[in-house]
Structure 1
Amino acid sequence: MQTRRIFRRPKLYGMMLSLLAGLIYLPAARAQTSEEAGRLYVSGQLDQLIAQGEASLRKNDQQPILHMFVGRAYADQNRYPEAIPHLEKSRQVPAGSDGVKVWSLGYLGTSYYFTDQPAKAQAALEECVALNNTQNATKYAQRRLQGYQLLPFYAGWRVVETAHLRLHFQSPEQVPDLARYAAEREQAYQAISQKFPASLSKKIDFYVWNNKADAKPVLQRELGFAVPEAMLVNARQNQTRGHELAHVLVQHSLQPTQRTKLINEGIAVYLDQTGANRLQRARQLAQGRADVWRLWEHPEAADEGQLYAVGGALLEYLAAHATPEQLRALLKDQRAEANRAALEPLVAAFEQELAKPE
């Protein structure tokens, strides 16, 4: 299962009022530069802000408000390594009503998280919350501590790292062989990434839960699921090795613009690394009556087990019979209407296979 996007760009109006009010205490030239940076930031002209800001900072590096705006602009463009030096400078100012320090800390937390420095991310976000200097900055940091799972709740979990994963075990004593368990998930990552190569800025944090009753109050949803944007997975201990990893890697490999449940879950079932006979499973659940287009267009009316099984078998069939270009186009825009013309003959052939008796 895949979750929705969990973070939004924070509201800017209130923050800008407090920042601009603080400019009256600055020398005129610096105030004008910072005010212009604020306007560019609010209007989304991030490239221009960065270019002008970097030029001004080369002449005078002692401009914390400008450092903050430039750092935030880099972070909003996912250029986190470039954001960090600016935000580290702007965080040094005392906490005040302008919010420069706390917003710098909040964005530092995000930047450290996405450069695979979770301890620094947690420290920056916790400091932002502890200062409680502006309501929006505090909420920003709280949401990310929760969303990135940088909470005291996880402090006692056992961590095992592989080349691409950071596995967190709730109850390591209940996993017979931690090293083998981790190695199997790493192998799944590598197998999927051969089909869908992706360049991730951090290791995938992979949380392994043994107690479902603990999970729901903390996560606010049922296990298991992936948060691809945060490169994060929450899974049951006995869940298939590749399903949630597939969600993360397909997202970062292809950047889908439109998702549908049949295709989105189907590709994850196809890549779950179980070696199961997916067509046989789909036949058993469909009982010769599956209308693929109806499942595709009306997933809410379908039995979830059938939808997952048929979706997995369909994607396996298309991976074998469609062209690579057709498969990529399908995964980037997963709507039925966007793919009907190209895939209708293949879907019809798949339905014939699905209708055959076991």
Structure 2
Amino acid sequence: MKFKAYCLVGILLLAGFFAHAQSEDEADELARRERYERLIEEGKAKLKYEGKNPQVSMVVGRALYQIGKPEEAIPYLEEAIREPNVKTMIDAWAMDFLGKIHYRKGDYDQAKKYLKTARSLNATKNATYDIQATLMLFGFDEKFDTWQTFETDHIIFHIENPEPLGDVAKYIAERTKAFEEIQAFFGAKLPKKIDFFIWSDQLDGYRFLKQTPGFVLSEACLIHGFLFQPPGFGFSELLADYAVPEGVGKPSKFIRTGMRVYFDQTHRNRVKSAKKAIKESGAEQPVNVRKLWQQPEGVNENVLENVAGAFVEILIEKGGEKSFLKLLGDPTYEAAKTIYGDQLNAWIADIEKRLNPAKSRE
């Protein structure tokens, strides 16, 4: 009875896979992982001593995926759909996750087969919603039938309408070069090519994706962007997650925002851009880098983006690549003090002096 009740809780707990926003609360993340691990432990024990059980196999497989063990999840999910009992909901969820796993491996045909079969079951409202959302994210929905695809050594570009781009070959070459330069910094090992979807209309993208194009799903090597974003958009975030996996899910808005700006390949003057953003915001208080780092919530996004970009430029160009990669593993101010020593506060003082206008003398 204990596992039966826990299994039902597990189904509800796991139903939100591929939620598009990660928690910034490390304690919550740890608590979730502990719950998944408990589900796995009790589920495996039940399967060992009581024999086959599709529901338990499905929950164990999904929990394994959630803690980053997709390969180990496959046999449990396959076992869940192998049993011929009437279990439509179990089959739908198991095939949903098998589709996600095969997509992550670059096995697109198998991924599409699982996901479309799962959708056709129309098992439950939640399952069908999640499956349809995944089909849309992965470009398997009929919406993408008219999109054009351009494949390079590392990226598969899916472009809704290439016409506004003019020289498509140049557009792709710029982004390919940006990827190669950013990858030279991170040296990440990816499980498959990056699927890069480029929408013509952000509002249209929101209507289908339920979020505005301009986001990264690192676990799927997937980017949804839109026309005329900077050439480096999305690459640093995705590559950082594979190069420094211990940093995934940790509170890091200031550093990761700055990283995205630094690697956007626009080569703009970041201090000048930060000054402009501060002026346009009408901020009356001087910029406090430490506060932005530790309490970024509620800050003007344009100010945060540009100040963080200017500061990350200092961290990388003065502190070096190895130190910055180490910081990504624990991107807190406290960890940075250990990594950079006394230089850190000196750099903060320097950037604040450059960004904040000198006080006028009476």
The answer to whether the superposition gives a TM-score over 0.5 is yes
* Structure 2 equivalent of residue 254 of structure 1: 244
Q: What is the identity percentage for the equivalent residue pairs of Structure 1 and Structure 2? A: 30
* Structure 2 equivalent of residue 23 of structure 1: none
Mapped pair 1:297 → 2:294 = yes
Change (3 A) 1:220 1:137: closer
Q: What is the identity, as a one-letter code, of the residue corresponding to 1:275?
A: H
Q: What is the identity, as a one-letter code, of the residue corresponding to 2:351?
A: F
Of 182, 188, 195, which aligns to 1:198?
Answer: 188
Give the deviation of 1:317 after TM superposition. 0.9
Which whole-Å CA distance do the structure 1 matches of 2:210 and 2:90 have between them? 32
Q: Is the 8 A contact 1:109 1:125 kept in 2?
A: yes
Of 225, 231, 236, which aligns to 2:221?
Answer: 231
- Between 1:312-321 and 1:248-257, the stretch displaced more is 248-257
Which whole-Å CA distance do the structure 2 matches of 1:142 and 1:42 have between them? 28
Give the deviation of 1:189 after TM superposition. 1.4
Query: Any idea what SS the aligned residue of 1:299 has?
Result: coil
Matches within 5 A, 1:297-316: 297-316=294-313
- Between 1:74-83 and 1:232-241, the stretch displaced more is 74-83
In structure 2, stretches of 5+ residues that fail to align are: 1-5, 12-35, 280-284
Which whole-Å CA distance do the structure 2 matches of 1:279 and 1:42 have between them? 46
Give the deviation of 1:93 after TM superposition. 4.5
Of 126, 133, 142, which aligns to 2:132?
Answer: 142
- Between 1:185-194 and 1:212-221, the stretch displaced more is 212-221
Which whole-Å CA distance do the structure 2 matches of 1:47 and 1:188 have between them? 47
Query: Any idea what SS the aligned residue of 2:234 has?
Result: helix
Give the deviation of 1:143 after TM superposition. 4.1
* Structure 2 equivalent of residue 43 of structure 1: 38
Change (3 A) 1:89 1:338: closer
Q: Is the 8 A contact 2:292 2:299 kept in 1?
A: yes
Q: Is the 8 A contact 1:95 1:133 kept in 2?
A: no
Q: Is the 8 A contact 1:157 1:170 kept in 2?
A: yes
Which whole-Å CA distance do the structure 2 matches of 1:354 and 1:151 have between them? 47
Q: Is the 8 A contact 1:93 1:100 kept in 2?
A: no
Change (3 A) 1:182 1:274: same
In structure 1, stretches of 5+ residues that fail to align are: 1-10, 17-40
Paired residues in the alignment total: 316
Which whole-Å CA distance do the structure 1 matches of 2:184 and 2:161 have between them? 31
Q: What is the identity, as a one-letter code, of the residue corresponding to 1:319?
A: I
Which whole-Å CA distance do the structure 1 matches of 2:42 and 2:156 have between them? 34
Structure with the greater alpha carbon radius of gyration? 1
Query: Any idea what SS the aligned residue of 1:43 has?
Result: helix
- Between 1:127-136 and 1:68-77, the stretch displaced more is 68-77
Q: What is the identity, as a one-letter code, of the residue corresponding to 2:350?
A: A
Of 325, 328, 344, which aligns to 2:325?
Answer: 328
* Structure 2 equivalent of residue 285 of structure 1: 277
Which whole-Å CA distance do the structure 2 matches of 1:148 and 1:203 have between them? 13
Which whole-Å CA distance do the structure 1 matches of 2:126 and 2:147 have between them? 30
Give the deviation of 1:306 after TM superposition. 2.2
Which whole-Å CA distance do the structure 2 matches of 1:76 and 1:223 have between them? 24
Q: RMSD over aligned Cα, in angstroms?
A: 3.6
Which whole-Å CA distance do the structure 1 matches of 2:197 and 2:191 have between them? 18
Q: Is the 8 A contact 2:218 2:238 kept in 1?
A: yes
Deviation string, structure 1 residues 291-312 (Cα, Å, up to 9, x no partner): 2123223434433222211111
Of 242, 248, 254, which aligns to 2:232?
Answer: 242
Of 256, 263, 285, which aligns to 1:264?
Answer: 256
Q: Is the 8 A contact 1:95 1:101 kept in 2?
A: no
Q: Is the 8 A contact 1:162 1:183 kept in 2?
A: no
* Structure 2 equivalent of residue 156 of structure 1: 146
TM-score (norm 2): 0.73
* Structure 1 equivalent of residue 8 of structure 2: 13
Matches within 5 A, 1:174-189: 174-189=164-179
Give the deviation of 1:221 after TM superposition. 2.9
Give the deviation of 1:318 after TM superposition. 0.9
Change (3 A) 1:156 1:94: farther
Which whole-Å CA distance do the structure 1 matches of 2:271 and 2:322 have between them? 23
Query: Any idea what SS the aligned residue of 1:166 has?
Result: strand
Which whole-Å CA distance do the structure 2 matches of 1:75 and 1:296 have between them? 32
TM-score (norm 1): 0.74
